[in-house]
Structure 1
Amino acid sequence: MTTHHETYTAPPFGPALMLNAFAPSRGWNPTDGFPDFSFIWRGYQISPAALATLQRAAGRDDAATADRLMLLAPHVTGFRLTMALLMCRDWPLPIWRALQLRNRLIRRGEIRIAFPSNLIVRATGWRVHDRGIELDIHAHLLQGDDCVWESITTFYYRGRFDGPASHGADDGAPMTSPAIDPELEPVAHWIAEGGDRLRWARLTGDYNPLHLLDVYARRTGFAAASAHPQRIAAECLGHLTKTSAPNQLDLWLKGPVYYNRAVTLRQTHSAEGEDFALWVDGDERAAMVGVIR
């Protein structure tokens, strides 16, 4: 199995990462599977400006919303390290074949703002299916000696893959999301605004033109450009009714949320916590489903 360990002392540079995306991939080897990569960002921190961007997306800055956003903040501002791993020249599959499916975000302690920290990401497990392969990227945030936050982001590569049916732990959000009744009374209704696109690309490190350019999105078969999933998650967290301080958020990303489209949020209480789902108006299937514990 190929090993690769890389350390950053500054944010991974987006344009350089995008150049890597155009380099030929070495291809899937069922014997090797995904390589043993670990990428470390030393000195990573969540800036007050980044948190303010999340609060603007949420539309609220009360204490309860800020508490929920702190669970999301490392996933947003540290996502570029995951992008750096997936766009590394030695990674076997190209980034443009990767679809983000699910997130599990876990808070294990107090997350401090503007505190120099270490963020570490690595591939931990994968599962081969008939029409694709799921990959889990595990991230954990160290502040001092304490792991205060971690996440498991599941990606999906379409195609036919040989090799063992599974490898490593399957600790992310379950494959099946909760079912939210689309007839429930909405808790919020708003327009998914199309401004600040480049700001969110810089914040996440995700410069996919599907999130930036309507013309490009239409040429690739989509109705328009769509918002970064992290942005939509922040909007949902800002519109939820009051919940207790959360320590885990599971998200299922089921479809694009196009800019300037009306969306509707529904929420219900379950044994697991608070379940919610967001619909783009006119669509039968929810675009995002979440459970906050």
Structure 2
Amino acid sequence: MTTHHETYTAPPFGPALMLNAFAPSRGWNPKDGFPDFSFIWRGYQISPAALATLQRAAGRDDAATADRLILLAPHVTGFRLTMALLMCRDWPLPIWRALQLRNRLIRSGDIKLDAASDLIVRAIGWRVHDKGIELDVLAQLMQGGDCPWQSITTFYYRGRFDGPASHGADDGAPMASPPIDPSLPPMTQWTVDGGERLRWAALTGDYNPLHLVDIYARATGFAAASAHPQRIAAQCLGHLAPTPEHPTQLDLWLKGPVYFGRSASLREASNDDGTTFGLWIDGDDRPAMVGVMR
């Protein structure tokens, strides 16, 4: 199995990563699977400017919303390290074949915003299906000897792949999202703002033109450019009903594009296990995003 360990002492440079996306991929080898890579970002921090961007997206700056955004913030601002992993020249499959399916974000301690930290990402498991392969990427925030936050992001590569049916643990969000009744009255509705597109690209490291340029999105078969999923997650967290305790886990299922300029409707249902929510875009029968906050 190919190994590769890379250390950054500054944010991975987005344009350089995008150039890697055009390099030929070495191809899938069922004997090797996904390689044993670890990418480390030393000195990683969540900046006040990044938190301000999240709060603008959420539309609220109260303490409860800020607490929720702390759970989301490392996923947003550290996502470029995952992009660096998936766009590495030695990675077997090209980034343009990868579709982000779901996220599991876990907070297990206090996240110190003013402390220099290490962020580490690596592939931990995959599952071969009839029409594609799922890949789990683990991100861990290390502050001193503690790991107060981690995430598992599941990507899907379309195609047919040989090899064992599974490899590694399956610890991410479940494949099937929980149901939420579409007949529930919306908690709130808003129009998906199309501003700050480049800011969110810079924040996440995801410069996919599908999130930036309407003409390009339409030329590739979409109705318009669509928002980064992290941005939509922040908007949902800002509109959910208050909860008495700070959240420790957030599972997200990304089911479809959230187009700029469309009307969005948020529905939620709460019980002792947490809050389940779904975001519908005007004109679509199924939700574009489903989440569970515990």
Q: Is the 8 A contact 1:46 1:115 kept in 2?
A: no
| Runs (4+) off by over 3 Å | none
Which residue of the partner structure matches residue 256 of structure 2? 255
Distance in 2, matches of 1:272 and 1:75, equals 23
| Residue 5, structure 1, aligned to residue 5, structure 2 | yes
CA contact (8 A) 1:279 1:287 kept: yes
* 1:171 maps to amino acid: D
Amino acid at match of 2:284: D
- Whether contact under 8 Å (1:275, 1:291) holds in the other structure is yes
For residues 54-105 of structure 1, the C-alpha deviation after alignment (integer angstroms, 9 at most, x for no partner) is 0000000000000000000000000000000000000000000000000000
Distance 1:270 1:4 in 2: 44
In the alignment, what sits opposite 2:123?
A: 123
Q: What's the % identity of the aligned pairs? A: 80
CA RMSD of aligned residues (A): 0.6
Give the whole-Å Cα distance in 1 for the aligned partners of 2:210 and 2:200: 13
1:134, 1:155 within 8 Å by CA — same for their partners in 2? Answer: yes
Report the Cα distance in structure 2 between the residues aligned to 1:271 and 1:288, rounded to whole angstroms: 22
Shift of 1:272: 2.6
- The answer for the alignment partner of 2:232 in structure 1 is 232
Moved more, 87-96 or 236-245: 236-245
Look up the match of 1:200: 200
Any idea what SS the aligned residue of 2:277 has? strand
For residue 62 of structure 1, what is the aligned residue in structure 2?
Answer: 62
Listed one character per residue, the Cα deviations across residues 21-62 of structure 1 (whole Å, up to 9, x for unaligned) are 000000000000000000000000000110000000000000
1:166 counterpart = 2:170: no
**Which residue identity does 1:284 align to in structure 2?**
D
Question: Contact (CA 8 Å) 1:48, 1:114: kept in 2 or not?
Answer: no
CA distance in 2, matches of 1:60, 1:217: 30
What secondary structure, in the 3-state scheme, does the structure 2 residue paired with 1:223 have? coil
Answer whether contact 1:264 1:278 (CA < 8 A) is retained: yes
Matched with 2:136 is 136
Match of 1:28 in 2: 28
Matched, 1:42 2:37: no
- Unpaired runs of 5+ residues, structure 2, are none
- The alpha-carbon deviation at position 271 of structure 1 amounts to 4.4
Give 1:258's aligned amino acid: Y
Alignment of 1:256-271 (within 5 A): 256-271=257-272
Gaps of 5+ in 1: none
Secondary structure, aligned partner of 2:182: coil
Distance 1:163 1:270 in 2: 41
Q: State TM-score, norm by structure 2.
A: 0.99
Write the distance in 1 (CA, Å) between the matches of 2:114 and 2:131: 43
Aligned to 1:272: 273
TM-score by length of 1: 0.99
